[in-house]
Amino acid sequence: MMDPDKMSSSDRLLWAAINLISEKGYNGVTTQEIAAAAGLSEKTLFRQFGSKQNLLESALDRFHYAEEMRTLFQEKLVWELEADLLTVCRTYHAVMNRNRKLIQISMKDEAQLPGFKERSRQHPLQLLDFLTNYFIAMGERGKLIQTDPRLQAFTFMMSQFGAFLNDLEAGDNYPDIALEPYMLASVRLFARALTP
């Protein structure tokens, strides 16, 4: 995880806020709780952030997504379906897992976050476009069946998105299915479905 001792006061507050709000929701946590979890006084929280709402919004600014995905499609592809899908898959889960708690917050407290949803929706849309174009290009090279690249890309994305969210919420509900074997199996399945 992370060591609160080495962080600045505001970082510790953001860290505590993310942890608690992702668990209990914005309205389920008090500013006292957050301050206590950060090892600071409530007063410091308000001095640093002014309001609880602003603390939440500052926390949400830690959401990072796009960079890796953008470079992914320009650098790491080898134009071999199964290998590329696995690369996409791994990158996707890495990014999603890094933002795990922020995603939980945005699901629970969308009502508190005007505009955030709209912004964060751009990211999967971009990925969908990238993947679709990749499928089209692969089709032109004769390495992919030519039917409906956008829906195929969407299906692949949804299978990964579903697995991520399932893991996020259910966690240990499927003790026999870990993420890593799932990635391999699902990528193999899609490769078999899409190879001519």
Binding residues for its own copies (CB under 8 A):
23-28, 107-112, 117, 121, 124-125, 128, 148, 150-152, 154-155, 157-163, 165-166, 169-170, 173-174, 176-177, 181-182, 185-186, 189-190, 192-194
23 belongs to the binding site for DNA (CB under 7 A)? no
Q: Find all residues with CB under 8 Å of 69, minimum gap 6, and list them.
A: 91, 92, 95, 123, 126, 127, 130
Q: Which stretch binds DNA (CB under 7 A): 34-42, 72-80, 102-110, 181-189?
A: 34-42
For 24, 37, 105, the CA distances from 16, given in Å and listed in that order, are 12, 6, 13
Closest CB to its own copies among residues 13, 103: 103
Q: Give dist(CA 134, CA 131) in Å, integer.
A: 5
Torsion of CA 7, 10, 11, 17, to 10 degrees: 130
Interactions with DNA, residue window 43-82 (CB under 7 A): 43-44, 46-48, 50-53
9 belongs to the binding site for DNA (CB under 7 A)? yes
Count of residues that bind DNA according to CB under 7 A:
19
Q: Give dist(CA 34, CA 175) in Å, integer.
A: 32
Residues of 159-168 as b/e, b for ≥16 C-beta within 10 angstroms? bbeebbeebb
In the complex, the smallest distance separating the C-beta of residue 64 from its own copies, rounded to whole angstroms, is 20
In the complex, the smallest distance separating the C-beta of residue 4 from DNA, rounded to whole angstroms, is 12
Closest CB to DNA among residues 11, 82: 11
What's the token pair of residue 145? 């069946």
Q: Which stretch binds DNA (CB under 7 A): 38-46, 64-72, 106-114, 188-196?
A: 38-46
What is the amino acid identity at position 20?
Answer: L
Task: Report the interface residues with DNA, using CB under 7 A.
Answer: 8-9, 29-32, 39-44, 46-48, 50-53
